[in-house]
Structure 1
Amino acid sequence: MKHKVAIVIPARLRSTRLPEKMLADLAGKPLVVHTYQRAKQAKLADTVVLAVDDKKILEAVSPFGCEVRLTPKRLKSGSDRVAFLAAELNAEIIVNVQGDEPLIHPKMIDQVIAQMLVSPMPDCATLVKVIRDNTLLNNPSVVKVVLDKDGYALYFSRSAIPYPRHVMAHAKFYKHIGIYAYTRKTLHAFSRLRPSRLEQIEGLEQLRLLENGYAIKCALTTHDSQAVDTAEDLKKSPRAHKQKCAIIFQSPFVFSNPLLIFSTHICALSSVRATMTTRSTFQNRLCNMQS
């Protein structure tokens, strides 16, 4: 039996650190449109929908062919918007992809979906990546996770976990990447649960699931995510741009699409130009992909 999969991208107009960041212009398109177009490349998804809270976003993204739905402003979080829209979608698996991830790799989305296409289906799935830079361990913005022997999350924290009491070399640390896939039933229940004690202490809403007995399966990825939260996030290195273009060029999707072959060559050439200037910006590193 094939389970229908829907990707929902929540997008809120008001943002604290970068005003109206979802509409920030990147290579001639609103930031959230790039996220949408990346999500459309996921092979295991049946549909992609933007869940927005303001007509201004709706009007900005509609010319780019995005499927978009307006959700009530009263909804407090992106998860609430995803849950609200999920009630209207005929899908068993709902994937929450944050709107401020314009460089998300489609394979990351497929990875998290694949974790749900097993029997028995887990309540929820997400991604983790091995931390190789130990300076990230004490960074509270980097969420760490510990896993059981079957790859299920035991706990998420902003602190370094597990604590290496004896030999640091023997410890393995994982960074959490906030892409989630839920069963329809789990998402419905999650949206109705009150914020839990540990969730409020850590400021991590996924702990609400763990504290209420839901299982979160974690898939190990080699890719990384890069959310845009501040104006500084828009300034990225030419080297990162070159790496992103290389990843895209290796994708079978590119070789099956002549337009993308052309745009990928343009992307590679722009990375060479970017290495010759000290004023590299996020727009320089963004590959202008067409869905």
Structure 2
Amino acid sequence: MIPARYAATRFPGKLMQDLAGKPVIVRTNEAALKTNLFDEVYVVTDSPIIFDAIIKEGGKAIMSKEEHECGSDRIAEAVNDMEVDIIVNIQGDEPFTDKESLVSMLDVFENDLNEEIDLASLMTKIKDSDEIHNPNIVKVIVDNRNFALYFSRSAIPYLRSTDMQINYFKHKGVYAFRKRALMDFRSLPMLTLEAAEKIEAIRYLEYGKKIKMVETDVNGIEIDTPEDLEKAKAIWN
């Protein structure tokens, strides 16, 4: 599932911006299909413009019936009546989605015999100081089994002692959910930490869900700004 909202705070209409002759959302849909990992790939959107662009290219799209604050809610509505076990959420602004990272994330469920894991997601190391302190980049800290402890737009953990070597991790907005966890998310109200940080993954933690984080070396580009789009064009070319 690829949630795709036309309006965006930092870069309105970004998913319909041109990337090598096709809209960003179409490129993302093509990348998801190219992995050959999924029974079905759908773009779930509130926009007739995005819907038509996907259908025109031979893809599958679903129009949301309700207004949604986040991608998880949008996907939950779309899969409500579907007989599925695992749902993968790929962000619409990720045209460089790679198969290797997705395979590692899905393997989490193959090895989860007791179904302890509610959802899995990706993280990648951050080495650049500007990125560590950039509030547009969501950071995650994990326990010794790589279960998420917290997500924040602040630099976490706070490095009080300069003698310590700390790894900082960026949260990549790609998820794999058990359907029951996703449907629970939709029925549960937003609490204070999620509202403060504006990070939907926090809702799962606030209600006791377990998120297994999988480290990947693939950084890619999330197209959040016009500058990101120019970087994506350069890489594509």
User: TM above 0.5, one fold?
Assistant: yes
C-alpha contact 1:11 1:53 (8 A) present in aligned 2: yes
Name 2:166's counterpart in structure 1: 171
Name 2:42's counterpart in structure 1: 49
The letter of the residue matching 1:180 is Y
- Which secondary structure state, in structure 2, belongs to the residue aligned with residue 170 of structure 1? coil
The structural deviation recorded for 1:207 is 0.9
The structural deviation recorded for 1:45 is 2.3
Q: C-alpha distance in 1, partners of 2:161/2:233?
A: 45
1:218 matched to 2:213? The reply is: yes
Cα displacement string for residues 141-187 of structure 1 (whole angstroms, at most 9, x for unaligned residues): 22211111111011111222222222444222211111111100000
Aligned CA distance change for structure 1 residues 132 and 171 (closer, same or farther; 3 Å): same
Report sequence identity in percent: 37
User: How many pairs were matched up?
Assistant: 235
Name 1:100's counterpart in structure 2: 93
Aligned CA distance change for structure 1 residues 192 and 168 (closer, same or farther; 3 Å): farther
Q: C-alpha distance in 2, partners of 1:99/1:36?
A: 8
Unaligned runs of 5+ in 2: none
- Which secondary structure state, in structure 2, belongs to the residue aligned with residue 115 of structure 1? helix
TM-score (norm 1): 0.75
Aligned CA distance change for structure 1 residues 19 and 131 (closer, same or farther; 3 Å): closer
- Which secondary structure state, in structure 2, belongs to the residue aligned with residue 56 of structure 1? helix
Cα displacement string for residues 6-65 of structure 1 (whole angstroms, at most 9, x for unaligned residues): xx0011223333332222122221210110111112343222111121222222221211
Aligned CA distance change for structure 1 residues 156 and 284 (closer, same or farther; 3 Å): closer
TM-score (norm 2): 0.91
C-alpha contact 2:73 2:185 (8 A) present in aligned 1: no
1:111 matched to 2:109? The reply is: no
C-alpha contact 1:146 1:161 (8 A) present in aligned 2: yes
Equivalent positions of 1:1-291 (< 5 A) are 8-118=1-111, 119-121=113-115, 122-236=117-231, 282-286=232-236
C-alpha contact 1:30 1:61 (8 A) present in aligned 2: no
C-alpha contact 1:103 1:286 (8 A) present in aligned 2: no
The structural deviation recorded for 1:219 is 0.4
Relative contact order: is structure 1 or structure 2 higher (C-alpha 8 Å, sep ≥ 6)?
A: 2
C-alpha contact 2:25 2:50 (8 A) present in aligned 1: no
The structural deviation recorded for 1:224 is 0.9
Question: Which structure's CA Rg is the greater one?
Answer: 1
Q: C-alpha distance in 2, partners of 1:53/1:80?
A: 12
Unaligned runs of 5+ in 1: 1-7, 237-281
C-alpha contact 2:119 2:177 (8 A) present in aligned 1: yes
Q: C-alpha distance in 1, partners of 2:26/2:94?
A: 10
Q: C-alpha distance in 1, partners of 2:92/2:144?
A: 32
RMSD of aligned alpha carbons:
1.8
The structural deviation recorded for 1:88 is 3.1
